[in-house]
């Protein structure tokens, strides 16, 4: 016990095992320090508990007319009404989806197709999540739309003045994310939304990274016609999200089959996940589960360290950024080497979007910042509810050596 306690304060945990013959073994395993909360969060136990009855007891298909189906339908309607009341929307304005990607796809593809008779010009930013950017790429390549991709400043922030210049008579949709997943930059979405409304242009915001981290009153604060949300970013279940669609907008469906979700999204509703999503919404949004007062000092500690390490440059915004996100680039190495080095020390981090896991492509976000040469050497630490001061102290001790080794290997590989 003494050895285990001593090691647990360092980089390894010690465990003592006893086999059937009475022989004991001592094993060391790396201590896990999870700093990838922008990728996903662990399911909150209370949220999981709320889901349990809908896994084992209320398991009927909400579209069935028999009593089991009616019981499931009642639960689904109650969950939608509860979410709508909390978010400040009408129940008919909420479409449950499989997550943020589907919500973004429905918002962009569905709305563009529904409104194409009014115009075929679309606007987005250069640093959107791929679930947004690839929709615009598809519409431009295959369906005859034109797309303007707004530049960003060195902090990754869109200038409203650039949007004003980009608007055209046939512009039908503007899509700008509320908070960037890779570097944490917050966008002036309320101002953008107000401008779009004054021009009669539909505004969509991918707010997946905003919820649970930034102050929230109701959906009206975004001045948006379409808002995407995803549960597993704030301790809800994976496979559950929603799209707010301000009435009377009616995007064309992108999934076909049944008439579920007010004929906007076919497919049997994932009732356990929806219940979990709504439970996490009501628990973790209005009092953000990512506590700024606790996370900002930890973020400052990491940033101060990174500024002192040769070859490191911060790319996350100090002023207009999420309180939990620390992003930097490193010269003389690449993201894969850095991630491997951190993982060997038990530190879970990211080198970009989790939805691009395994990708060797440079970060389009870092490229958009004008740092093309460093775009393949991004490190993102994203802190969360369980992040402790002790864990940050451990990272501070480990990180300089991880970077030094990665840079040394980079020099060797390149023949420096």
Q: Are residues 138 and 257 in the same domain?
A: yes
Residue 152 has pLDDT above 60, yes or no: yes
Task: Assess if residue 36 is contained within a domain.
Answer: no
Asked which of 256, 284, 312 is the last residue of a domain, the reply is: 284
Task: Assess if residue 111 is contained within a domain.
Answer: yes
Q: Are residues 64 and 18 in the same domain?
A: no
Is 319 exposed, middle or buried, given 0-12, 13-18 or 19+ CB atoms closer than 10 A? exposed
311-327 pLDDT tens trace: 999 999 988 999 999 99
Task: Assess if residue 367 is contained within a domain.
Answer: yes
Q: Are residues 267 and 157 in the same domain?
A: yes
Task: Assess if residue 41 is contained within a domain.
Answer: no
Q: What is the spatial distance between Cα 318 and Cα 156, in angstroms, rounded to a whole number?
A: 11
**Predicted local distance difference test score (pLDDT) of residue 23:** 61
> Taking a C-beta distance cutoff of 8 angstroms, is the pair 33, 399 a contact?
no
Residue 170 CA to chain centroid, in angstroms? 31
Task: Assess if residue 37 is contained within a domain.
Answer: no
Q: What is the pTM of this model?
A: 0.90
Residue 164 has pLDDT above 50, yes or no: yes
Query: Quick one: which of 178, 223, 229 has its CA closest to 202?
Result: 223
> Taking a C-beta distance cutoff of 8 angstroms, is the pair 228, 207 a contact?
yes
Helix axes 292-308 and 389-414, enclosed angle (nearest 10): 30
Q: What is the spatial distance between Cα 253 and Cα 25, in angstroms, rounded to a whole number?
A: 58
Query: Quick one: which of 177, 158, 182 has its CA closest to 327?
Result: 182
Catalytic residues: 355
pLDDT band at 374 (very low <50, low <70, confident <90, very high): confident
Task: Assess if residue 39 is contained within a domain.
Answer: no
Residue 11 has pLDDT above 60, yes or no: no
Q: Are residues 174 and 243 in the same domain?
A: yes
pLDDT band at 8 (very low <50, low <70, confident <90, very high): very low
Asked which of 252, 284, 316 is the last residue of a domain, the reply is: 284
3-state secondary structure the chain: CHHHHHHHCCCEEEEEEECCCCCEEEEEEECCEECECCCCCCCCHHHHHHHCHHHHCCCCCCCCCCHHHHHHHHHHHHHHHHHHHHHCCCHHHEEEECCHHHHHHHHHHHHHHHHCCCCCEEEEECCCCHHHHHHHHHHHHHCCCEEEEECCCCCCCCCHHHHHHHCCCCEEEEECCCECCCCCEECCHHHHHHHHHHHCCEEEEECCCCCCCCCCCCHHHHCCCEEEEEHHHCCCCCCCEEEEECCCCCCCCCCCCCCHHHHCCCCCCCHHHHHHHHHHHHHHCCCCCCCHHHHHHHHHHHHHHHHHCCCEEECCCCCCECCCEEEEEECCCCHHHHHHHHHHCCEECECCCHHHCCCCCCCHHHHHCCCHHHCCCEEEEECCCCCCHHHHHHHHHHHHHHHHHHHHHHHHHHCC
Q: What is the spatial distance between Cα 36 and Cα 350, in angstroms, rounded to a whole number?
A: 6
Q: What is the spatial distance between Cα 343 and Cα 341, in angstroms, rounded to a whole number?
A: 5
Two tokens, residue 273 = 């996940």
Two tokens, residue 21 = 């013959």
Read off the CATH number of the domain in which 300 is found: 3.90.1150.10
Q: Reading across the β-sheet that carries 378-382, which strands appear in turn?
A: 312-314, 325-330, 378-382
Q: Are residues 167 and 97 in the same domain?
A: yes
pLDDT band at 364 (very low <50, low <70, confident <90, very high): very high
186-242 pLDDT tens trace: 999 999 999 999 999 999 999 999 999 999 999 999 999 999 999 999 999 999 999
Q: Are residues 235 and 299 in the same domain?
A: no
Q: Are residues 261 and 230 in the same domain?
A: yes
Q: Are residues 52 and 26 in the same domain?
A: no
Q: Are residues 200 and 265 in the same domain?
A: yes
Q: Are residues 213 and 110 in the same domain?
A: yes
Q: Are residues 261 and 304 in the same domain?
A: no
Asked which of 284, 312, 339 is the last residue of a domain, the reply is: 284
17-48 pLDDT tens trace: 555 666 665 545 568 999 999 999 999 999 99
- Structurally, how many domains does the chain consist of? 3
Read off the CATH number of the domain in which 80 is found: 3.40.640.10
Question: Domain of 206?
Answer: 46-284
Q: Are residues 21 and 96 in the same domain?
A: no
Task: Assess if residue 184 is contained within a domain.
Answer: yes
Query: Quick one: which of 321, 331, 334 has its CA closest to 382?
Result: 321
Task: Assess if residue 38 is contained within a domain.
Answer: no
């Amino acid at each position: 016990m003494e050895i285990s306690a001593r090691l647990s304060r360092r980089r390894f945990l010690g465990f003592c095992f006893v086999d059937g013959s009475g022989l004991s073994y001592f094993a060391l395993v790396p201590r896990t320090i999870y700093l990838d909360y922008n990728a996903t969060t662990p399911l909150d136990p209370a949220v999981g508990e709320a889901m349990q009855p809908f896994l084992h007891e209320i398991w009927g298909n909400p579209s069935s007319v028999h009593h089991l189906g009616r019981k499931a339908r009642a639960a689904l309607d109650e969950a939608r009404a509860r979410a709508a009341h909390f978010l400040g929307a009408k129940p008919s304005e909420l479409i449950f989806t499989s997550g943020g990607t589907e919500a973004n796809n429905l918002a962009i593809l569905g709305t563009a197709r529904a409104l194409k008779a009014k115009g075929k010009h679309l606007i987005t930013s250069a640093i959107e999540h791929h679930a947004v950017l690839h929709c615009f790429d598809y519409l431009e390549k295959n369906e005859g739309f034109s797309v303007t991709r707004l530049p960003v400043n060195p902090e990754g922030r869109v200038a409203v003045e650039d949007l004003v210049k980009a608007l055209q008579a046939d512009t039908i949709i503007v899509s700008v994310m509320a908070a960037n997943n890779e570097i944490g930059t917050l966008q002036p979405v309320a101002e953008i939304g107000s401008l779009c409304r004054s021009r009669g242009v539909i505004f969509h915001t991918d707010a997946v990274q905003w919820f649970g981290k930034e102050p929230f009153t109701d959906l009206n604060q975004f001045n948006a016609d379409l808002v995407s949300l995803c549960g597993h970013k704030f301790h809800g279940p994976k496979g559950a999200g929603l799209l707010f669609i301000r009435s009377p907008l009616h995007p064309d469906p992108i999934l076909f089959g049944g008439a579920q979700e007010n004929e906007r999204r076919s497919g049997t509703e994932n009732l356990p996940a929806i219940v979990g999503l709504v439970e996490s919404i009501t628990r973790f949004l209005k009092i953000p589960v990512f506590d700024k007062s606790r996370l900002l000092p930890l973020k400052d500690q990491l940033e101060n360290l990174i500024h002192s390490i040769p070859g490191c440059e911060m790319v996350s915004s100090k002023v207009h950024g999420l309180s939990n996100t620390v992003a930097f680039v490193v010269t003389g190495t690449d993201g894969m080497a850095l991630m491997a080095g951190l993982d060997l020390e038990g530190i879970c981090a990211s080198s970009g979007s989790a939805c691009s896991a395994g990708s060797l492509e440079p970060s389009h976000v870092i490229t958009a910042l004008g740092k093309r040469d460093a775009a393949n050497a991004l490190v993102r630490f994203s802190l969360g509810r369980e992040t402790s001061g002790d864990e940050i102290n451990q990272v501070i001790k480990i990180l300089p050596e991880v970077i030094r080794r990665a840079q040394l290997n980079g020099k060797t590989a390149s023949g420096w």
